[in-house]
Amino acid sequence: MDQNSLRKLVEGQLLRLEGNAFQDCMDRLGLELYPNDYQPVRAAGPKGDTKNDGYCPKARVFFAAHATRGERLDKTKAKIRGDLEGCLKEHRDVRVWRFLTNDTVPGEVDQFIDNELRPLHPSVTIEVWGLKTLANEVSKLKQEQIDRITDVITVAESEFEVVVLGHVKTGRDLWPILSGCLGWLDHVEPDDCTDEEQDLIDGAIQAFRDWSDISSDIEFSRSSVRDAQRSITAILDELAQRGLALYAGSKENYPLTGGSSPFLATVAIFKIVRLAGAQ
């Protein structure tokens, strides 16, 4: 599996986590990044977790893990300030304070950290690892480490299954498949393609994959999605002009990795066929 597919898959796994499940996942990440140093921390007694969700006693790196998806900006800022200042009050020699979240940090929150918190605490490196940063860091690790961090479930090998593909003529029809997948299978094309047709098909498939990669980043904007769909329609029209058509569909719970604990995700399937009567 290519790196982009792996990153998107990990991102999807992290996005699903809530509350303690996210903190447990971040503990597993800390143990992989700092195998001889990281110490998980849990609340106990009247002092709770002393504003410390996990830390590295040697490296003096302290972590605050918080699933902020859908949270109001004022609550997120208050949480960050409270955890940071509480940690600095309770612990000595804090060199790095790292806030971990499975959301994309809004610009207003990032500005608050940079303009207010960092000037107040110049001796501490204050970092925020949002969803994409976490996914990038996890994806750099070995496959067995990624399996441990994301805590994937062991499943038996999938049985053969037929997937029905539909004739896709517009970007609006293809978009739900692209935005709903975390990977794709190798596409199928006619055996008798000319070099020019192969180049056209390769470019089209690559464009579909690129739109799929960034679909989660633009879905908040209806106009951006509409522009994407129009661009895809233009590609499909170009294929049709050469007598080629796209059939597409998706397969759920497809193992994207091997081993005893594979990543399961929805994948897109693309098949290019020659229209009847086309030369």
pLDDT in tens, 112-160: 999 999 999 999 999 999 999 999 999 999 888 887 888 654 333 444 5
pLDDT value, residue 2: 66
User: Comparing 261 with 84, which gets the higher pLDDT?
Assistant: 84
pLDDT value, residue 46: 46
C-alpha span between 239 and 250 (Å, rounded): 21
What mean pLDDT comes out for the span 180-202? Answer: 90
What mean pLDDT comes out for the span 46-69? Answer: 81
Per-residue model confidence as pLDDT tens digits over 212-261: 989 988 988 889 999 999 999 999 999 999 999 999 999 888 887 666 66
Per-residue model confidence as pLDDT tens digits over 24-40: 999 999 999 999 999 99
Confidence of residue 10 (pLDDT cuts 50, 70, 90): confident
pLDDT value, residue 178: 93
Q: Which residue has the tokens 């106990």?
A: 44
Q: What is the percentage of the chain residues whose pLDDT exceeds 70? A: 88
What mean pLDDT comes out for the span 190-197? Answer: 91
pLDDT value, residue 258: 64
Summary mean pLDDT of the chain: 86
pLDDT value, residue 227: 95
pLDDT value, residue 153: 41
Whether residue 48 has pLDDT greater than 60: no
C-alpha span between 135 and 132 (Å, rounded): 5
Q: Are the CB atoms for 80 and 113 separated by under 8 Å? A: yes
- pTM for the whole thing? 0.57
pLDDT value, residue 244: 95
- Quick one: which of 76, 81, 67 has its CA closest to 14? 67
pLDDT value, residue 275: 83
Instruction: Count CB atoms within 10 A of the CB of residue 278.
Output: 12
- Cα dihedral 118/121/124/130 (nearest 10): -30
Which of 140-149, 186-195, 196-205, 209-218 shows the highest mean pLDDT?
196-205
The 3 state secondary structure assigned to the chain is CCHHHHHHHHHHHHHCCCHHHHHHHHHHHHHHHCCCCCEECCCCCCCCCCCCCEEECCCCEEEEECCCCCCCHHHHHHHHHHHHHHHHHHCCCCCEEEEECCCCCCHHHHHHHHHHHHHHCCCCEEEEECHHHHHHHHHCCCHHHHHHHHCCCCCCCCCCCCCCCEEECCHHHHHHHHHCCCEECCCECCCCCCHHHHHHHHHHHHHHHHHHHHHHHHCCCHHHHHHHHHHHHHHHHHHHHCCEEEEEEEEEEEECCCCCCCCEEEEEEEEEEECCCCC
Q: Are the CB atoms for 117 and 64 separated by under 8 Å? A: no
